[in-house]
Amino acid sequence: MKFGVILFFFIIGAVAPAFGDIVPLNPYSTYYATNGTLQVGSTALAITPVEALSGSTSSKATGFLFLYDNKVYLITNRHVIKSEATNEEPAFEAEYIKLILHNNPTDVSSISIYTQNLHSPDSGKQLWLEHPILKKELDLVAIPVFDEENTGEFLISAFSSDNFITKEDVVYVGEDVIIIGYPLGLYDQHYNLPLFREGMIASFYPIPFNQEPIFYVDARLHRGMSGSPVILKPGRARSTIRAGTDTGTVGKIYLLGVNSRRDDRANRDPKIDEPLGLNAIIYGELIQEIVSGGE
């Protein structure tokens, strides 16, 4: 496999592929088995803790891997690696990121640290990709990973455009979603496995809320889950409309978007009103626009 990276992708009912095989991600019914009886859904191999560092300052969040045109990208929020100064916080721009990835198909506790510079050593130019039109106004970046300098081998899975909702698929307000990540940095550090939180679609999908490319999810999320993938809860048929008839698909992982922020109201009185518990989710299709350069 190019650059020494082991890509594992899973399909329903399939035997785990040999090293280097690439097939569409579908981790719902097929499991990555280790340590005899331990089984881990392959979705976990696509998610990673992200630590963005600049000197002694760091930012910790969630990221996930995305495959496009035979290249692998880390997807996370822009504010994780770069943020402008505010009244409360100074400006921050990370020099590099650290990811924690699996490296052994027979031992899920075997992990390696992967580091990636965020600027060119020659020109100092940023290496991450932003949206070709929205630029820094969109809180989403794609960072190319596993370059030629990397000599390690990692066992990963990855999302792709095959996991996006299509125009024929129907997503309803009130549907259950799963948000995967590392709330307040909590996760299974021995096996390097994230936590799964449950939420509900709270605004009309796929309408941009107040003309911003987001929808809302009602969920109890915390710091550390910036950059978390938001997927439809697996387990039932997906309603689709094709040629005037309803059909369905079962078991496919649908990537709806990327968690960006918790929203609140300035007029909320903490003595009277509880926090809204609403989280702004960037539409996942914008990932494709970033990695393709708007093509």
pLDDT tier, 285 (very low <50, low <70, confident <90, very high otherwise): very high
Q: Do 177 and 138 fall into the same domain?
A: no
Q: Do 100 and 220 fall into the same domain?
A: no
CATH code assigned at 282: 2.40.10.10
Share of the chain above pLDDT 70, in %: 76
Asked which of 132, 156, 180 is the last residue of a domain, the reply is: 156
Q: Residue 148 has what pLDDT?
A: 56
DSSP three-state, residue 117: strand
Number of domains in the chain: 2
Q: Do 28 and 151 fall into the same domain?
A: yes
Q: Do 83 and 185 fall into the same domain?
A: no
CA distances from 139 to 39, 77, 82, 170, 290 (A): 34, 5, 10, 26, 12
Does pLDDT of 268 surpass 50? Answer: yes
Q: What is the pTM of this model?
A: 0.85
Q: Do 42 and 175 fall into the same domain?
A: no
Q: Which residue has the higher pLDDT, 9 or 51?
A: 51
Mean pLDDT for the stretch of residues 27-37:
43
Q: Which domain holds residue 36?
A: 2-156
pLDDT tier, 251 (very low <50, low <70, confident <90, very high otherwise): low
Does pLDDT of 243 surpass 60? Answer: no
Q: Residue 135 has what pLDDT?
A: 95
The whole-angstrom distance between residue 105's C-alpha and the CA centroid of its chain comes to: 22
Does pLDDT of 21 surpass 90? Answer: no
Q: Do 141 and 196 fall into the same domain?
A: no
Least confident of 16-30, 121-135, 253-267: 16-30
Does pLDDT of 119 surpass 80? Answer: yes
Buried b (16+ CB within 10 A) or exposed e, 65-80: bbbbeeebbbbbbbbb
Q: Do 7 and 145 fall into the same domain?
A: yes
Mean pLDDT for the stretch of residues 201-217:
95
Mean pLDDT for the stretch of residues 71-92:
91
Asked which of 156, 185, 210 is the last residue of a domain, the reply is: 156
pLDDT tier, 17 (very low <50, low <70, confident <90, very high otherwise): very low
Q: Residue 30 has what pLDDT?
A: 39
Q: Do 148 and 170 fall into the same domain?
A: no
Buried b (16+ CB within 10 A) or exposed e, 212-243: ebbbbbebebeebbbbbbbbbebeeebebeee
The whole-angstrom distance between residue 250's C-alpha and the CA centroid of its chain comes to: 22
Asked which of 156, 181, 209 is the last residue of a domain, the reply is: 156
